[in-house]
Amino acid sequence: MPFAIELKYIEETEKDLHVKFPDNFKLRMQKSNGGEWETEEMEIELHPFFDKSDKKRIGRTCNHIGLETRNARQWSGFPENGITIGSDGYGNQIILMHNGDGKLDETIYFWDHETREIEIIAENINDIEE
């Protein structure tokens, strides 16, 4: 079950990954850090930001955006400008991307780990229902 997170933990991830998350994404995650998203086609687990405020939250956020992005960057064909914010449990990633400037676009993409193809699945985080 997702829970609120302090902005400072989001900012730590931004520094770590050298990116700036979209404001709408940060606001949504501050209220509900992680969670699930289900569509007719797939079920997605949104990765949380790493919350170091106490042991319980450390355990609940250990598969965080920073770690999952570093892991995904080891895979052949994962976009260099991609940040993974979720997955479908089958290796496919839900990502945000930037144009080389580090400022992530609001558009949410699906990256297929087998075909290496990318497709838009939402215009922004507000299109995703918990």
The identity of residue 32, as a single letter, is: S
Q: Which bin fits 102, alpha (ψ -120 to 50), beta or left (φ > 0)?
A: left
Lowest mean pLDDT among 3-17, 26-40, 66-80: 26-40
Residue 127 has pLDDT above 80, yes or no: no
pTM over 0.75: yes
Q: What average pLDDT does range 2-28 have in this prediction?
A: 95
CATH architecture label of 7-127: 3-Layer(aba) Sandwich (3.40)
Q: What average pLDDT does range 80-108 have in this prediction?
A: 95
Q: Report the run of H or E that residue 111 belongs to, with start and end.
A: strand 108-111
Confidence of residue 82 (pLDDT cuts 50, 70, 90): very high
Residue 75 has pLDDT above 90, yes or no: yes
Confidence of residue 129 (pLDDT cuts 50, 70, 90): low
Q: What average pLDDT does range 51-74 have in this prediction?
A: 94
Q: Which pLDDT belongs to residue 130?
A: 52
Residue 69 has pLDDT above 90, yes or no: yes
Residue 1 has pLDDT above 80, yes or no: no
Q: What is the dihedral of CA 19, 84, 38, 128, to 10 degrees?
A: 10
Q: In residues, how long is the chain? A: 130
